[in-house]
Every structure is written in structure tokens, then in C-alpha cells.
Amino acid sequence: MARRPLLAGNWKMHKTASEATKLVQQLAYSYDDAYAGVDVVVCPPFTALRSAQVTLDFDTSSPIRIGAQDVFWEPSGAYTGAISAAMLRDVACRFCIVGHSERRMYFHETDEDVARKAAALIGEGIAPILCCGETIETRESGRTLAFVTAQIKAALSLLSASDAEPVVVAYEPVWAIGTGRTPTPEQADEVCAAIRDTYRELYGVAAGEALRILYGGSMNVGNVDAFRAMPNIDGGLVGGASLKAEDFMALVKAFS
């Protein structure tokens, strides 16, 4: 089955609102109709979501979509500093990263938190980009497949088959994020295949076939073709290389 590729840029804690406007403009200008077969998403920090969206709205023909980097699961209330899924929808977010390893590491997010966030997003019509991935210790001890599939099962635990339809999974080995190190494409594909099998077990054969799985971790213009050639990799979640329009668009082009 042909799955539509997706390239998502995770800007992390980079770019003020005005810097985001500039980068989004550059992306919109360098977008080419030849990329129409790829979903292109940028995930700026919360404070830049509005300006990024307004910039894209101004360029009415831009198919580039906006995503957030995190969400809180409660709909509203006394949760200082938190942002709800409805607030993200209000600024036209179509996607939201959840369970990124940096959130798990620095903000102590658990699998249960990730599941609640995914459910809150689905409730507002926003597609979660569910992150999973092993540490180097887990890989070296040979437990990668068991670890990653357990993460995915936990993250999906509150979603029915129809809820889970918009979900995108990003396989990101923790040791490859921002390090310049990557698994071989075959190693990455092995984990992505196990994720697809898990999805099939949970939601059926058709859902497994339709699931989009992204690879993330030091993806760049030099290695993208090798990842793209893998049967279970349908795109990328990109950190460093998404901060320059030229680099990010080269990755989009590779998946076109």
C-alpha cells in the first residue's frame, strides 16, 4: 500500500516569533509543486505558532501545515504554564509531537502521560506524532524491539481503532537525536516493522498497512535517501536539519 510521506520539522526551543515568520516564509517560497505528494509540517515553539500560521495563511496556496511540540491533556483549568489541545486547534495546529525523548528526559513524562496527551489531541481533531525510541543501553542489551513496542502499546492504550487512524509514529533512537550518529537504515526499518506489526495486532491489518512511521535522529541530506528506501519508513521527524529552509526542503524533495 502506498502511504503518503510526511516530513515534520521539530524546531525545539529555537526561533522567536519573528524568526519563525522568516523561516516559514523561506519554506513557503522554496516549496515546489513537485512536493505535492508529501505532507510537510513545521512544529515551532508555542510562542511562534500564531505567527507561523498567519504567515502561511497569507500565502493561501501553501500546503505546509503547523504542528505543536507538546500539549497538556486537561481541557482547561488551573494548570499554570500548560496548553490544551483546544488551544492548539485554535491556532490551526493539525499535528502535535508527543512523547519526545527530550520531554521524557527533562520533564519526566511517562508512557501514561503520553497516552493521555494522545487521547486529548484526538478529541480535538489533531494528529499526534507519537515518539518512541530506545537508549543506547537498551539497544546494546538487545531489548530494543520489546522496549519500543511496549512504549507504543502504552501510548495507544486509550485509543480505539477509529481514534487511532490519524496517529503518526516517529521512531527516534534516543542516542541518534542531535548526535550525528544513526542506526543503519536496516536497523531502523527493523524497529519500524515491529511498530507496524504492533499496530496490526491492536487495530487490524488495514490499520497497520496505513500507519505512517517516521524515522528521526540526525536525518540529513547525506543520509535521507538510504532511510527513504526502507519499506517501513514513510518520512522523517527532523530536528537540526529543519532549522534551515534549504536543508529541510532537500529532505522534503528526497521523499517526493
Q: Which residues bind ligand PEP (CB under 6 A)?
A: 10, 172, 177-178, 216-219, 237-241
Q: Is 98 helix (H, G, I), strand (E, B) or coil?
A: strand
Residue 57 DSSP label? H
Element (H, E) at 132: strand 127-132
Catalytic residue among 100, 102, 109, 134, which?
100
Residue number of the CB atom closest to ligand PEP? 239
The distance of closest approach from Cβ of residue 200 to ligand PEP in the complex, given in angstroms and rounded to an integer, is: 25
Query: Is 172 a residue of the active site?
Result: yes
Q: In terms of CB distance, is 155 or 238 closer to ligand PEP?
A: 238
Catalytic residue among 14, 109, 172, 190, which?
172
Task: Please give the C-alpha separations between residue 8 and each of 33, 43, 67, 203, 224, in angstroms, as whole numbers.
Answer: 18, 7, 8, 25, 14
Q: In terms of CB distance, is 64 or 158 closer to ligand PEP?
A: 64
Q: In terms of CB distance, is 10 or 158 closer to ligand PEP?
A: 10
Task: Please give the C-alpha separations between residue 255 and each of 3, 51, 125, in angstroms, as whole numbers.
Answer: 11, 27, 26
Query: Is 124 a residue of the active site?
Result: no
Q: Is 239 helix (H, G, I), strand (E, B) or coil?
A: coil
Residue 63 DSSP label? -
The distance of closest approach from Cβ of residue 59 to ligand PEP in the complex, given in angstroms and rounded to an integer, is: 26
Q: Which three cell numbers stand for residue 139?
A: 539497544
Q: In terms of CB distance, is 121 or 238 closer to ligand PEP?
A: 238
Task: Please give the C-alpha separations between residue 178 and each of 21, 44, 101, 175, 237, in angstroms, as whole numbers.
Answer: 24, 17, 12, 8, 12
The distance of closest approach from Cβ of residue 175 to ligand PEP in the complex, given in angstroms and rounded to an integer, is: 10
The distance of closest approach from Cβ of residue 10 to ligand PEP in the complex, given in angstroms and rounded to an integer, is: 4
- Which residues does the annotation mark as catalytic? 100, 172
